[in-house]
Structure 1
């Protein structure tokens, strides 16, 4: 059989490698504490579950949901208005079957072979994989600690900027956990307008910010709708990742291209999921504060506990992750990850899997409870891997 040459560069995911080693440790009777995949362990709010259960029991909801319901569209409009002060119109909104597939679909709808796409490094893999599958030429934008992991627009080559079609931005950032101040978004809009670049801002973690930081929307900046769109997801905010509920909002022409492509490759979001999304967006938001407080408490416990045993980690600005520099005696984040796993049973993700500039770091997902976090800290201390 002859397969697509594109697949040759899509090596098996680091998560597959970690899972293989995890299964091996478990088969040996070892206890593992997995901080690798960012799958929320916090249960959804009861009113969301109730809605999903009730709507799933209605036979009429099992038809193709070719279009978004007016209830879902209005829920998104009202939520964006309440949360960010952003006014959206119906033709500026389309649902996604999760942001992950949305990135691939957006890339296919915008990009021709050879088009330049600017992506963050380190960055979530789909930021690069989506454009790559569409035939783009990927140009990485380094996210450096000395710049607070913000994109340095001045460092982008002018000829590259002139040719670029799409720029991917994401704050609060996965994996670095950085948040972006409002003036960053103002500069982003100005830069994109100057060079006629479409902006995609992934805003999956705007509700999960700490220490007085307020999550913002790129679209709240005047002129942002002229050049870009934003993805938003309910997966982490409302702890419903398996439902694959997300939406794209912003520039109506970009949204229309995405909607046209989607009409050829999927039949829309399952109607009970649309009902659950509306329940989440329209219902009481105190649950969101509970989720946020839970992740903050875990963050504090992990960072403070590791600091006491000699692993000093910068505080997390936002998201549900911790971005940790590896011990100085290690030169490879992958080797440290495997050693940590073998010696302690603690599983993290090597920063190098997020890009060249992720080397020297590992990512913790805050998906373990306080007891497990304390156990992980004790195991790391007992292993003497930090010495």
Structure 2
């Protein structure tokens, strides 16, 4: 009888204690694991700490405009924000009148005709639009060609969209185009997307309009789409006018162009950007944005209309301000022995590290300038292997501060050279 099953007993013996649970783990998506550590984290942490300690650090690291927007634009923002009708959800593609102003600017400045309803979309800054465009176009197995050194989002927006990347040297435009064609001839499957960025960040490389004519020819020959990141459209020096990709015949057949109000209009924190060009690509971006956002605050859009309509003279004057800052920084660095090619456009000087210091990584060199000289710069390695040996210096500080930065760099390097010499004897 003892072998009989007790039908009234519990199905499983009750444990006297609950088992010790395994440590809970957060398992993020593979796309996050594919991203490297943030390259500028060490610099930003030290910059923050030094400023908390009272150091007056001259920050030439980030291209964050320090000049204010025009007063009329800020006043329009205030007025529009006080209108209760502007506080609801806005269309994710932007107000029609804002898109019309983009069309007017392209017609006026580049002789390019755009259709506001189908060929222009507003973005929450060009970086958001670019990232979502990559999500709309790319997927597993797709390949994009990007310039090298690269602005990080040009690389990692593709990776976040599960695509692959081929990097090509950006410094010689003709060589870049030859390499694009060679890549298309030898890769299987062929690249789906070409990402270009002129004036280039970080290197400040520039091109002439014929470059885009050849890009369109190659795109049609090999069947790839084109995204041109035109963030520095409004900042040309010494009479140079950065050309628009859309001004090339047939450009709208193969691609789009992203612009922004962050730089020339000093509206970086407002997050107003645009994508213009191929209607099918615009539609795809609009589909993605329709799922991800409700558009930018309508008062910001209304103020942006005023900025585009009424402050173009101020945009031209702002370019002259950056040109004067470029001259102050380049002249100062040359006086202390640096080899510098003055940029023709953009907000940055791409400075080659002096030969005496090339035994150091650019990250270590930049950290030394910050720690010992109270000057923050961006190490070239933050823009990929091709950036090693260079520093990116932004032109957001005024001329007096830039000259002071050069003096502090000079004193820092002289002191470190003296310490190195004394330790070796």
Q: TM-score, normalized by length of structure 1?
A: 0.95
Counterpart in the other structure of 1:181? 208
Q: Do the aligned residues in 2 keep the contact of 1:344 with 1:379 (CA within 8 Å)?
A: yes
State whether residues 208 and 320 of structure 1, in contact with CA within 8 Å, keep that contact through their aligned partners in structure 2. Answer: yes
2:316 to 271, 282, 289: 289
1:75 aligned partner: 101
Corresponding position: 1:274 with 2:323: no
Alpha-carbon distance between aligned partners in 1 of 2:368 and 2:319, rounded to the nearest angstrom: 31
Are 1:207 and 2:246 matched, yes or no?
no
Match 2:342 to one of 315, 329, 335:
315
Structure 1 residue matching 2:118: 3-state secondary structure: helix
Deviation at 1:28, TM superposition (A): 4.4
**Deviation for aligned residue 1:13:** 2.1
Contact 2:170 2:205 in 1 (8 A): no
Q: Is the 8 A contact 1:15 1:36 kept in 2?
A: no
TM-score (norm 2): 0.87
Helix, strand or coil at the partner of 1:384: helix
Query: Which of the numbers 20, 24, 30 marks the counterpart of 2:55?
Result: 30
Distance 2:68 2:297 in 1: 21
1:247 matched to 2:271? The reply is no
| Alignment partner, residue 262 of structure 1 | 289
Cα shift readout 1:304-360 (whole Å, capped 9, x = no counterpart): 011111122111111111100011132421121111112211110011111111111
Instruction: Output the aligned Cα RMSD.
Output: 1.7
CA contact (8 A) 1:84 1:217 kept: yes
Query: Distance in 2 between the 1:148 and 1:345 partners?
Result: 36
- Structure 2 portions without partners, runs of 5+: 1-25, 418-425
Q: Is the 8 A contact 1:303 1:312 kept in 2?
A: no
- Alignment partners' CA distance in 1, 2:292 and 2:318: 34
1:47 to 72, 95, 102: 72
Q: 2:399 matched to which residue of 1?
A: 370
Aligned 8 A contact 1:65 1:270 in 2: yes
1:7 aligned partner: 32
Greater gyration radius? 2
Decide whether aligned partners of structure 1 residues 265 and 27 sit closer, same or farther in structure 2, where only a CA change above 3 A counts: closer
Q: How many residues align?
A: 385
Post-superposition offset of 1:34: 0.7
Other structure's SS at 2:228 match = strand
Distance 2:126 2:178 in 1: 25
CA distance in 1, matches of 2:98, 2:175: 33
- Write the deviation string for residues 72-102 of structure 1: whole angstroms up to 9, x where unpaired: 1211111110011000012011111111111
Structure 1, unaligned stretches of length 5 or more?
none
Determine which of 110, 126, 130 is the counterpart of 1:99: 126
Provide the secondary structure at the position in 2 that maps to 1:152: helix
Secondary structure of 1:230's match? strand
Q: Which piece of structure 1 moves more, 13-22 or 79-88?
A: 13-22
Contact 2:173 2:211 in 1 (8 A): no
2:236 match: secondary structure: coil
Alignment of 1:135-174 (within 5 A): 135-144=162-171, 147=172, 151-154=176-179, 156-157=182-183, 158-160=185-187, 163-174=190-201
* Alignment partner, residue 42 of structure 2: 17
Aligned residues of 2:168 and 2:179 also touching (Cα < 8 A): no
